[in-house]
A and B are shown apart, each in its own frame.
Chain A
């Protein structure tokens, strides 16, 4: 198994541009988590899906952020418009609920200039 796949690995963009981050879950897993990691705030949960349904989006910073799961194996996190304070490493993680273990992807390092 290839594990959780995230793309792109690095993204540099200018303030105001739209950014789309992508995540492919491990086959058979049914929960997906999007996290943001910064030195100041550590690892923060943004949103959590279970069986394609958003369960908890209370960590989504503001309306500029949106996440979707168009199918059971794929998710996107979109930031529109992006701002410099969005610069961070964004991780997705997938889980098979019966195992209580999250498997993290390698992350996308986002820099907004």
Chain B
């Protein structure tokens, strides 16, 4: 069974700090996606990474796909209260598997 483990489960930090959250698996995925979900809403796609070692940037967010395409990280620089939410990674091979997410809270 493919599993995606996300860490940490919860993270609460002050505005302006940097943070990294992780998504790990023992399985290889053809692509990996990161979503952000806010309370009362569905997840919204942030990025898709496809190539091992790939790095994508979205303003203050940097996403990296591991060389072996088994893991990924999301780094946020100078976190802001608007970054608060549940961050989900999803691996795709023949199926789509979601991690349980990292719940991020940025304190003003």
What residues of chain A have their CB less than 8 Å away from a CB belonging to chain B? Answer: 4, 33, 35, 41-45, 56, 91, 93, 100-107
Contacts and interface: CB of A to CB of B under 8 A. Distances in A.
Nearest to A104: B42
24 contacts: A4-B42, A33-B96, A42-B88, A42-B99, A43-B101, A44-B98, A45-B97, A45-B98, A56-B95, A91-B42, A91-B43, A100-B31, A101-B48, A102-B96, A103-B45, A104-B41, A104-B43, A104-B44, A106-B40, A106-B41, A106-B42, A107-B40, A107-B41, A107-B42
Contacts of A93: 42
Contacts, number: 41
Interface residues of B, number: 16
Contact of B98 (A43, A56, A105, A107): A43
A20 B34 CA distance: 30
Nearest to A42: B100
Contact of A100 (B42, B48, B97, B98): B48
Looking at B42, B88, B97, B101, the one whose CB has the most chain A CB atoms below 10 A away is B42
Which secondary structure dominates where chain A touches chain B?
strand
Interface of B: 31, 40-45, 48, 88, 95-101
Nearest to B42: A104
A102 B41 contact: no
A105 B42 contact: yes
A35 to B, nearest CB: 8
Nearest to B99: A42
B5 to A, nearest CB: 11
Contacts of B88: 42-43
A61 B16 CA distance: 43
B41 A101 contact: no
Contacts of B41: 104, 106-107
A102 B80 CA distance: 26
